[in-house]
Amino acid sequence: MDQVSFKDWISTYCDHDKCAAAFSDRKQFFRVNTIKMDLAKFSGITKLKYAATPYYDMAFELTEPHGYEIGRTWEYFLGYIYPQSLPSILVSLIVDPKPEDEVLDVAAAPGSKFSHMAMLMGNKGTLVGNDIKREKTSALFATINRMNVLNSIVTERDGSRLDWFSRFDKVLLDAPCTALGSGESAPERWELEHSQKISVLQKKMLFSSYDALRPGGTLVYSTCTYAKEENEEVVANLLQNVPTAKLEDITLDFPHEKGLSDYGEEFRKCRRVYPFHLQSEGFFMAKIKKSEDTPETKSVLPKDGGAA
């Protein structure tokens, strides 16, 4: 970070001061786990102070005093709630998994979106939660047990080479990223080179995830960062090399900005959420459709791995 400051860099995407102020004053959110308890019963027994959000009837803003540790409550330990940022909650709604679906969460640990998708599926269908290391899948198992997820299978595979082909109706790739939209220390640890390096891994993971999708299926790609190298560029690499992949509109209604058009006007279909939109962390979301007439061959990743 020698020549360009974090403030100058982020100002190419949004109003830095507005973004920083909203992030420092961000709210705590949680969702009710209806696998274990319906909302009416939860409302009758909880002592938590909370308010409804206008974007999802199971997502709530915690209105307890600042610094309140929701992770130390009995509601949390019994699996009745999951503390989660509001954009992260909305990602699972974009995936829109159904009880009859076979769904893959490629980088599932610690299980926030995974357990939410299980809830949306009514604990039915098949939900595969994958991650690369035992410590990550251990965290996922803890969430599965606490939230009473029953329709799940846990696997340990490298997300960049899953070696599944046309297996799933819906796939979520919430990719490992620089997390510049979610961390207090973002200005201190930001380096453009880090985004460029992790972008290569993300591109490989997106190719692998797309191959796991059945023809006619949908894939949601998301990150909690701002860098176009980790967002629009990753999606563009797939679209440029795989003609059967197309961006779809995200119809869910919530405040956002459209994706950057640097890679084409179709990227306006993506969504960028900055802290001032939802008083929460920053996020990127893209929804990709796999053509019904996709040939029975694996996608070919460029020899450079999609490096910029």
Provide mean pLDDT across the span 198-227.
97
Residue 188's pLDDT is what? 85
Longest Cα pair distance anywhere in the chain, in angstroms? 58
Residue 303's pLDDT is what? 59
For the chain, list the domains and their CATH numbers.
6-15+85-290 (3.40.50.150), 27-84 (3.30.70.1170)
Known active-site residue 224: yes
Provide mean pLDDT across the span 84-111.
98
Residue 183's pLDDT is what? 79
Task: Give the DSSP per-residue string, 179-236.
Answer: -TTT-TTHHHH--HHHHHHHHHHHHHHHHHHHHTEEEEEEEEEEES---GGGTHHHHH
Bridge partners, residue 220, by sequence:
172, 287
pLDDT digits (tens, 9 = 90+) for 38-85: 999 999 999 999 999 999 999 999 999 989 999 999 999 999 999 999
Work out the mean pLDDT of the chain and round it to a whole number.
Answer: 94
**What is the Cα–Cα distance from 181 to 184, expressed in whole angstroms?**
9
Return the minimum-mean-pLDDT range out of 18-22, 104-108, 118-122, 218-222. 18-22
Q: Is the pLDDT of residue 275 over 70?
A: yes
Q: What is the DSSP code (8-state) at residue 165?
A: -
Residue 307's pLDDT is what? 53
pLDDT digits (tens, 9 = 90+) for 287-307: 999 999 877 666 666 656 655
Task: Kindly state the percentage of the chain with pLDDT values over 70.
Answer: 95
pLDDT digits (tens, 9 = 90+) for 172-186: 999 999 999 987 788
Four-CA torsion 36, 39, 41, 46, nearest 10 degrees: 90
Bridge partners, residue 248, by sequence:
287
**What is the Cα–Cα distance from 125 to 121, expressed in whole angstroms?**
7
State the catalytic residue, choosing from 14, 19, 177, 224.
Answer: 224
Q: Is the pLDDT of residue 26 over 60?
A: yes
Is the C-alpha dihedral spanning 191, 29, 59, 254 positive or negative? Answer: negative
Provide mean pLDDT across the span 148-158.
97
Residue 304's pLDDT is what? 60
For residue 110, cis peptide bond before it (omega within 30 degrees of 0): yes
